[in-house]
Every structure is written in structure tokens, then in C-alpha cells.
Amino acid sequence: MSEHLTVVDHPLVQHKLTLMRDKGTSTSEFRRLLHEITQLLAYEITRELPLTDTSIDTPMETMDSPILAGKKLALVSILRAGNGMLDGVLELVPSARVGFVGLYRDEETLQPVQYYFKAPKELGDRMVIAVDPMLATGNSSAAAIDLLKEAGATNIRFLCLLAAPEGVARMKEAHPDVQIVTASLDRELNEKGYIMPGLGDAGDRMFGTK
Ligand code: URA
């Protein structure tokens, strides 16, 4: 497997991330940027999708050419902010199956509480990509991965926009087999569990709920 943590330092990713961090960026612009940046990150995280050769006829001759192999990818949104990353990946991999994990963070304990779980069948035969823009304490991310593993997933990746060192460490301890792809490893968490310098509450910023 590749590195446990991959930070995508592509200039377009970093430029769009700066715009997203800026508190003056509007809800609609934030959502559009998240969509675009997710596609760039998805390019990286799908790098190891298996291929097989298929025979096709080009206008010139017959050739064996690579095509995605095996069961369709499973994309799992960690509600609610993960939903802002779904469409970007689905545009690149339209045949992906989609699941949802509902966890909210108890603001006192910062521990995850499950309220919804629905995943595609035969998870064990698919590459599973869990999406959540913010890897903060890592508690809800690790809990979401626990649920996916209980449902049979064995080949899991985690796609986020920002990661805190605390969250990366928590994930590495709980799920060393899960590769994390992110646009930035930020400095730290604050006392309320927010990523610093971060971008605030990703859900509120993409849905305009504050
Ligand atoms: N969730 C968010 O939306 N933002 C943070 O900084 C941490 C968790």
C-alpha cells in the first residue's frame, strides 16, 4: 500500500483551498470549490483502482486497452459534510455505488454518536472511499471506518479536505491499513475540536446554516 497520509500539493488544489479557507468566500462559491477540489483529490485516491484489458476497435485497428476491473467502487459519505464531496467523485466515477454513515459529534465529549448507516452490498469486493471534508479528532472517522469494516469492507481509503495531526494519529492507530488523502495537514485542533487554521465548520459553510 502507499503512504498512510498523502497530502496533494498540486497548485490548483492549494489555490482552491486558500479560497475556501477565506471567511469572505460565499456559500455558493465554497460549495463549488469543494466540488472542484474533490475531483482533483479523487484523481489521486483512485490511483490504485484495478484495471484489466479489453479488446476494442479504434478507427485504425484492433487493440487491447485498459478498463476498470472488478466490482464498482463504493463511495461512502460521512454525513452531513461528506455530502459536499459526493458529486465531485461521482462525476469522475459515475458507476460508483453510494453509502451513508450518519454520526454526530457530541460537543461535550467530542465522541461520535451513530444515527444512520446504509452501505452498498458486497463491500468486501469493492474499493471503498469514505469522504468527509474535515479529519479533526478522528473519532467519528475511526468510528465510521469501524462500521464499514463490520459491514465487510477490507479495502478502504479516506478522502478529506483538511486533516489535523491529532486526527491522522488517531486514524493511524485505529486503522493503519486505511490510506488518507488530503489537501492539507493543518497545525492542530483547538480546545473545541476545530482544526486550526482550518476553515471553520465545513457543513455550515457549504450549506449556509450559520
Ligand atoms: N468539523 C468542521 O467542520 N470543522 C473543524 O474544524 C473540525 C470539525
Digit-coded pLDDT (tens) for 95-132: 999 999 998 877 788 678 899 999 999 999 999 999 99
At residue 77, φ and ψ (nearest 5 deg) are -90, 130
Query: 200 CA to middle of ligand 1, Å?
Result: 6
Q: Which domains are seen in the chain, by residue range?
A: 5-49+72-194 (3.40.50.2020)
Pocket, ligand 1, Cβ cutoff 6 A: 81, 134, 136, 193-195, 198, 201-203
* Catalytic residue IDs: 105, 109, 201, 204
Atom in ligand 1 nearest the alpha carbon of residue 81: 3
The angle at the Cα of 130, spanning 51 to 72, to the nearest 5 degrees, equals 35
Give me the chain's average pLDDT, please. 95
Mean pLDDT of 193-204: 97
Q: pLDDT at residue 138 above 50?
A: yes
Q: Check residue 52 and give its pLDDT.
A: 97
pLDDT in tens, 176-195: 999 999 999 999 999 999 99
User: How high is the pLDDT of residue 3?
Assistant: 85
Contacts of 31 (CB under 8 A, 6+ apart): 84, 206
pLDDT at residue number 2:
54
- Distance from residue 1's CA to the centre of ligand 1 (Å): 28
In this prediction, residues 142-154 reach a mean pLDDT of 97
**Total-model pTM:** 0.94
Ligand 1 binding pocket mutation candidate from 170, 184, 195, 206 (most atoms within 8 A of CB): 195
Q: Which residue has the cell 476491473?
A: 69
Cα→Cα distances 9→13, 16, 97, 122, 175, Å: 7, 11, 28, 34, 24
Q: What is the pLDDT of residues 7-46, one digit of tens each?
A: 999 999 999 999 999 999 999 999 999 999 999 999 999 9
State which ligand 1 atom lies nearest to the alpha carbon of 196: 6
User: Phi and psi at residue 114, in whole multiples of 5°?
Assistant: -85, 135
Ligand 1 atom, smallest distance to 195 CA: 6
What is the whole-number distance in angstroms between the Cα of residue 164 and the centre of ligand 1? 10
Residue 161 scores a pLDDT above 60? yes
